[in-house]
Amino acid sequence: MATTDLSSLKREAALCALDEVRDGMLLGLGSGSTAAQFVELLGERVQSGQLRGISGVPTSEKTAQRARELGIPLTTLATTPRLDLAVDGADEVDPDLNLIKGLGKALLREKIVEIHADRFVVIVDVTKLSPRLGTLSPLPVELVPYEVEATRRWLETLGCRAEIWSDEAGKPYVTDNGNYLARCWFAGGIADARELDRLLADRPGVVEHGLFLDMATSVIVADRSGIQRLERRA
């Protein structure tokens, strides 16, 4: 699918999510290309006066900067520990609405913010739907820089190919939290996402990972035929 088509689909999904925002809401503002569309559209409505009393908690420094430029008031979880709604994209969505997120390099802050939301709405284009997590995209894992090569080698004992995510000069990307990221490719997808979640959570040196399990309330999917809304099963 052409890049222009994907950008248009992302905008359609973002517009659909924006219809859920009401005056006075406290919002979690996601990161990445699709979430950026939502932030842009939200800013337009705030500036025009169509939405009033909105505050947002950003999931990255980039999102925070853009929100300020657009005049979206920002707050923190310390001030507003419960959010009405979080809106963010995803890199992969399985049939149970479990997600891989984090290829926008903000997975830790995204997870912190989105667990504090009463509703977490995910906006994607149809290319992100997958029969099994790990089939379409690598799993990002945030790592402490100390002895990072040892942690990378351990990741490969989980049945994946793991690499430290680096820029064109070969230097590791550094997250907003001062950590590194690994990308982990699983041939044929992740066999047991819940077991992998547990193993990663228990490992020293792993700060957080991009498996977002049982978190999405709904997923708004845009394709050329229109918008589809997938709801989490009770």
Name the residues annotated as catalytic: 110
d(CA 125, CA 205): 33
Rg of the chain taking only CA atoms, in angstroms: 17
Neighbour tally for 36: CB within 10 Å: 19
- Please count the CA atoms within 13 angstroms of the CA of 36 that sit on its side-chain side: 13
In sequence order, the 6+-apart residues with CB closer than 8 A to the CB of 230 are: 93, 97, 218, 219, 220, 221
- The token pair at 225 is 């035929």
Distance (Å, whole) CA 79 – CA 198: 31
Question: 59: which strand partners?
Answer: none
Q: How many CA atoms lie within 13 A of 155 on its CB side?
A: 29
